[in-house]
Chain A
């Protein structure tokens, strides 16, 4: 199956997202019809009665090591963050972060023109040109959400040490991030007009 997928990886990704969305909707509908309100009951009910839907559901827990083990260590290595924060140089960090890879990052939507997006938090499973495709831990089931970069501000944190909860917090202005992640690697960000980002100041 690798040949087929590699040839049309974009189509395979779209199919994956659509199949996850479809199975999520079916699953929420079944939960509503059967008046199931908590996670354990729902997953045991699905595993027993609707194994096909249960199989197709995305699992948030499978992506957590991607963030905790891989992405955090990568970004700490990139910013050469040691436990003593004094050595971090802010501006060079921003330049490196603008070229970094965000597949596997845990992002949270802090500001957005679309009010229903605010507060969504999830792990990036694909950083496309105009969207961050996140897997979100839901109350009943995990979902795949495509968050548009346009008109959205994302936030992520880099914990400094495992003991206390001190962390570095950065914001990503989605409007300035609408490039494919590979193109961003070699791109130099210049200061540009910002009349399209008044939402960032207003609310």
Chain B
């Protein structure tokens, strides 16, 4: 219907940035989660 079909690319551009975003997201989730022994006042800082 008028759309040029192309096969999906084998590699993804800027894969490193996706790795980094994925890591930082998990890092923030880990730091924000209340942990035993963590100083309470520092959670917002995380």
Q: Which residues of A contact B (CB under 8 A)?
A: 1-2, 4-5, 9, 12-13, 16, 55-59, 61-62, 65-66, 70-71, 74, 77-78, 96, 99-101, 103-104, 185
Contact = CB atoms under 8 A, between A and B. Distances in A.
Interface string B6-34: 00000000001101101110110011000
A71 B30 CA distance: 12
Contact of B44 (A5, A57, A62, A74): A5
A56 B41 CA distance: 8
A57 B40 CA distance: 11
A78 B31 contact: no
Most A CB within 10 A of own CB, among B17, B37, B41: B41
B45 A78 contact: no
Contacts of B24: 101, 103
Contact of A62 (B16, B20, B35): B35
Nearest to B28: A103
Main secondary structure of the interface of A (DSSP, over half): helix
A77 B16 CA distance: 10
A60 to B, nearest CB: 11
A9 B20 CA distance: 21
A59 B30 contact: no
Contact of B27 (A2, A16, A70, A96): A70
B16 A65 contact: no
Contacts of A57: 39
Nearest to B35: A62
Given A2-B44, A78-B19, A55 B39 contact: yes
A102 B1 CA distance: 48
B44 A66 contact: no
B31 A99 contact: no
B16 A70 contact: no
